[in-house]
Amino acid sequence: EDQVTQSPEALRLQEGESSSLNCSYTVSGLRGLFWYRQDPGKGPEFLFTLYSAGEEKEKERLKATLTKKESFLHITAPKPEDSATYLCAVRGDYKLSFGAGTTVTVRA
Amino acid sequence: GAGVSQSPRYKVAKRGQDVALRCDPISGHVSLFWYQQALGQGPEFLTYFQNEAQLDKSGLPSDRFFAERPEGSVSTLKIQRTQQEDSAVYLCASSPDRGSLPSGANVLTFGAGSRLTVL
C-alpha–C-alpha distance, residues A27 and A47, integer Å: 21
Distance of CA B84 to the CA centre of its chain: 19
Maximum Cα–Cα distance for chain A, whole Å? 42
pLDDT interval class at A92 (50, 70, 90): confident
Report the greatest alpha carbon distance in chain B: 43
Q: Which pLDDT tens digit goes with each residue over A15-46?
A: 999 999 999 999 988 889 999 999 999 999 99
Task: Inspect the interface and report whether the beta carbons of B43 and A98 lie closer than 8 Å.
Answer: yes
What are the chain A neighbours of B45 within 8 Å (beta carbons)? Answer: 95-97
pLDDT of residue B53: 95
Q: What is the pLDDT of residues B34-75, one digit of tens each?
A: 999 999 999 999 999 999 999 999 999 999 999 999 999 999
Please report the residues numbered 7 through 66 in chain B whose beta carbons come closer than 8 angstroms to any beta carbon of chain A: 31, 33, 35, 40-45, 48, 55-56
Does the beta-carbon distance from B113 to A31 stay under 8 Å?
no
> Among B41, B44, B113, whose Cβ lies nearest the Cβ of A43?
B113
Q: Name the residue facing B99 among A4, A46, A95 (closest C-beta).
A: A95
pLDDT for B88 beyond 90:
yes
pLDDT of residue B104: 47
Query: 3-class secondary structure for B79-112?
Result: ECCCCHHHCEEEEEEEECCCCCCCCCCCCCEECC
Phi, psi of A81 (to 5 degrees): -70, -5
